[in-house]
Structure 1
Amino acid sequence: MAHDERRLQVLRAIVQDYVSTNDPVGSKALAERHDLGVSPATIRNDMAVLEEQGYITQPHTSAGRVPTDKGYRLFVDRLSAVKPLSAAERKAIERFLDGAVDLHDVLGRTVRLLAQLTHQVAVVQYPTLSRSAVRHLEVVQLTASRLLLVLITDTGRVEQRVVECPVDMAQDDVADLRALLNSAFAGARLADAGGRVPDLVDTAPPHLRALVAAVSATLVETLVEPGEDRLVIGGTANLARTALDFPGSLRPLLEALEEQVVVLKLISEVDTGGAVLVRIGEENAHEALTGASVVSVGYGTGDRALGGLGIVGPTRMDYPGNMAAVRAVARYVGQLLAES
């Protein structure tokens, strides 16, 4: 066990040095820079075993070693703790996000902040409508036979639809329709709300039946069809700093970020327990991301994740620092949305 623990210390030292210097790490440098309590010869033996087990590898041109995906994975799995952010960093998060005026602004600020804190590409998924609930349905009469239907969700999403009604409407009827819709749908999960529409048409009071029938198709479409799942992305320029970490080309990764589908899938697969997920290199199961790591977490209100946020960068990254930043920002965004 002592051997394994010591080898883990050697691996930690290699990861830390390689992340900070981008130079392959040799046993001599490890012995000089870290108080590992053993001779350079023992460190060399430990490195030989780590290499044999696939945790580190030797680049062709160098005598030093670099961590493999498997090595980073062990390092992340054995982190004793994610280092907490400093009070100043937490204050900066609060100050930066508190000025936001609406959901779009919150998410835009979130990616800029995450990109600054981590020096990586930051990505935030818009809250998915399927996880949202109806906060309010507003009905506005535009003309004698035209209504504007506005759905406001508890995640700050707003969906608007114009409805042509075959009947002329009295103002009182519009007010009654608004009251009826809100009593039927307020607080309902979007995933369940669409199924209530047919019952509403059947049970509506006689003077509203034609109106409810007229808005029913639009209601189903607004409630059931989630608005397009989207990502907000910031800090792509940070990839230029780490271009050397992607030996082939940055192009596949940039294309994946632009097309969003691959990254959206990774970011939206969040752990409902609120754990920070780390996917390293080939664990991302997409060739565009083989040289990259994705650090992500769900954000939301209470115990309900509304979407995912995180960062994408090279596998050679500061995992403890980035995991802390992603977690802290997600917590704060969740608080903001709970208050809004």
Structure 2
Amino acid sequence: MKKLLAVLPGLALLLLSALVVQQFVEPWIKIHWKRGFDLLHLNAMMLSFLWGIVLGNVWPQPAWAVHGVKSSAMILKAGVIVMGSLYSFKEIGKIGQASLAMIFFFVLVTFFFVLWLGKVLRVQRSLTGVLACGCGICGVSAEIAAAPVMGVTAAELAYCIGVTLGFGLVEVVTYPAIGTLIGLSSYQFGGWAGTGILNSAQVLAVALAFEKDTQSLSTVKVSEIFNITRVLFLPLLILILAFYVSSNKERVWKTDSKKLIFEKFPVFILGFLCMTALTSVGAFKAGQLASLRSVMLWCFSVGLIGLGMRTDFAAIRQTGGKPLLIGISAGLLKTMASLVAVLLFLK
């Protein structure tokens, strides 16, 4: 009971902050900075993270809020679990074997490229692992899921999220222009956006910016199917990370595999899979799915504010620019290689 009472004040602060962002900050920016809002495709989650950074670095965090702000890590995990309800295993069957193979290829290649480059540049394994998951799968959500496995600090996680979102903003502006310039079809552009863009939340924004047929929304549909499919590989990469991080201290083949999985694999990812399975069998009605989406957005909004408040810029400066170089390199590789693959295999 004492622990719960200690958490409540800080949790109330996070909830109030999320309410301010969603009801006041986001609408105000939409009205007074519409051009920038539309250009950058800002959303409540991105604004929540930035708002948390401002709060944490301008206003000294009061002692009564510390425990509640730390609870934001659990709230982010809850958001990942609920996020599973937005996806269905049935989506995999809609894209064909060639497209599925392409998605799987780029997920794994990007993931292992980041791990390799991190080793070459001598970046700490924990930071590299989170970046690898984010660049390989779906950006921010994947980084949040990987953070407990890799044991990163709040500042390190914030750094990874910043790298992914920053590169994603560049993609939001450049993808539609490039797609139009080289004459991609709606199907090709949707496949490229759903495969190449690092952060899944920005895929929809890019697809809408390119969309030629506002009635059928063909580009949006294709991009989201590709996007959803790559997210379903998240549990696999988390499991790979669990083995990867354990090898830093002990040889994997000398470790009991069951013990390894239970100690390193985050249980909340099983919750993600369960929610996806329930959606796949039609356990949720349309109204319930809409409610679950709202719950997910609130969890991420509250959790990202807490993460922002715990961001230590001194620790980020100490981390240096190498992780940023890794993120940019991975983003460019994925963007260019996936474009070539789309031109060759998606007609």
Same fold (TM over 0.5): no
Which TM-score band (shorter chain)? under 0.3
Q: Report the TM-score when normalising by structure 1.
A: 0.26
Greater Rg over alpha carbons, structure: 1
Structure number with the bigger relative contact order (C-alpha 8 A, sep ≥ 6) is 2
- Bigger helix fraction: 2
- Bigger strand fraction: 1
